[in-house]
Structures are given as structure tokens and as C-alpha cells.
Amino acid sequence: MIEVEIISGRTLSQGATVEEKLTDEYFKAVNYCELSEEDFNALGLSEGDRVKVKTEFGEVVVFAVKNKDLRKGVAFIPMGPYANMVIDPNTDGTGMPQFKGVKGSVEKTDEKVLSVKELIEVI
């Protein structure tokens, strides 16, 4: 298990499929977590493996992706239903939940990645 700060955000593929949320393309565009090379290797992961991302606000299983441009300790999940399982819902009076910079942990898992529809059911 490693400690990370989780960032969520827009990607080109997420944006291009955002009006087709019930398709496989959207599912693929938002169901992964990017980790730095160092963190990815430290967890003994290979491409296609799944990880469980946990914060004090929730947990979610997503696919692990290596991103050599990320700094160690930073995890990136595309904005969307998977990221929203773990981000900080508190708004500190601004109305804005904290979608970026949420402390959490990442560990390797054999559990499956839920579909978009299954995700709603577990909320």
C-alpha cells in the first residue's frame, strides 16, 4: 500500500465521451488511476492490474495506469463517477467539494471494477 494525493480532472477522452456516459468508451475513459512509475513499480503492478483507492470518504476499484510524467505520491483519476467515490465532498462553505488534492492510499486488488450502473447501486 502507498500513500498518495488524489487529483481528478478532465482528459480528452473523458470530454469526448461525456455525452455517451452509458457506453463502454466512457467507462474506459474514466475507470482508471494514473500513478508515477515509482509508485506503480512499488506496488508490483503491471498494465491491466486493478487497484483499490481509499480515502476517508470512500473507496473504489479502478485499473492502474503508469504515467512517467507524474510525481511520486500523486495519483490522477479522470473526473467522473469513479473519482467521485473517493474525493472530499466537504465544501468549506464555498459550495465546491474538494475534487483535487485528497489524501488517500492505493493498494493492489483482485476485486473487479464496477460498471457505471453498478457504481450507482453501491452509493
Q: Residues in the site for another protein, rule: CB under 8 A?
A: 5, 7-12, 15-23, 57-58, 69-71, 74, 76, 79-81, 84-85, 87-89, 91-101, 116-117, 120, 123
CB 1: neighbour CB atoms within 10 A? 12
CB of 11 to another protein, least distance (A): 5
User: Which CB, 22 or 44, lies closer to another protein?
Assistant: 22
User: Which CB, 57 or 63, lies closer to another protein?
Assistant: 57
CB of 102 to another protein, least distance (A): 9
* Strands (DSSP E) found in 1-123: 2-9, 32-35, 50-55, 58-66, 74-78, 100-109
User: Which CB, 112 or 122, lies closer to another protein?
Assistant: 122
State the alpha helices, DSSP H only, in 6-115.
Answer: 12-16, 24-30, 37-42
The phi, psi pair for 74, rounded to 5°, reads -110, 130
Spatial contact of 55 and 102, defined as CB atoms under 8 Å apart: yes
User: Which CB, 5 or 49, lies closer to another protein?
Assistant: 5
CB of 91 to another protein, least distance (A): 6
